[in-house]
Amino acid sequence: MRYKAIVIGVSAGGLDALGIILPALDANLPLPVLVVQHISPQSDSYMVKHLNAICSITVKEAEDKENPKPGVIYVAPPNYHLLVEPDGVMSLSMEDRVNFARPSIDVLFESAADAWSPDLIGIILTGANEDGSMGLAKIKSCGGLTIVQDPATAFVDRMPKAAIAGTTVDYILPLDEIGPLLNQLTNSTIME
């Protein structure tokens, strides 16, 4: 199979954005999906419960030293960075904030690029800061595939614009086209 994982970074407007993309994913998705959504350190588990209720694949909070499984969406817990170790195992960290955020998109994307590139798909969605632009650039420079939400369709366009300015992006799409593209990319690779 061509790809090993999908990583998604999102901030302001994220619950609505994820609520369009993630339910569109095939029930037999052959990859794990790791998500960083900027959330308050005091957040409860509403987002995970909501997404789990509307998706055909399992959505759960990532756990320290957990091995990501295909067909599962892992969400970074509040106030923890989500990283991917060189052997592909997930880890959680309370190290300093990056881009004013913990969890930080750049932290996930850069560690995932080290572990899985070039077999990694990185996606930046709506958001009000520039977190994720450096991580997406690293995924691209390591040979991975990059997707950014069309800034014109974003709740807040700063994060998509920063990602587009920071690297060559393979696809710039509205939300409703990202899920079908992921299904096409991951299903077509099974037959190779």
Which residues belong to the active site?
11, 38, 131
CA distance 144 to 162: 18
Amino acid, res. 85: E
Q: Is 142:115 a contact under the CB 8 Å cutoff?
A: no
Tokens of 9: 């970074």
CA distance 122 to 144: 7
Q: Is 44 helix (H, G, I), strand (E, B) or coil?
A: coil
Q: Is 57:44 a contact under the CB 8 Å cutoff?
A: no
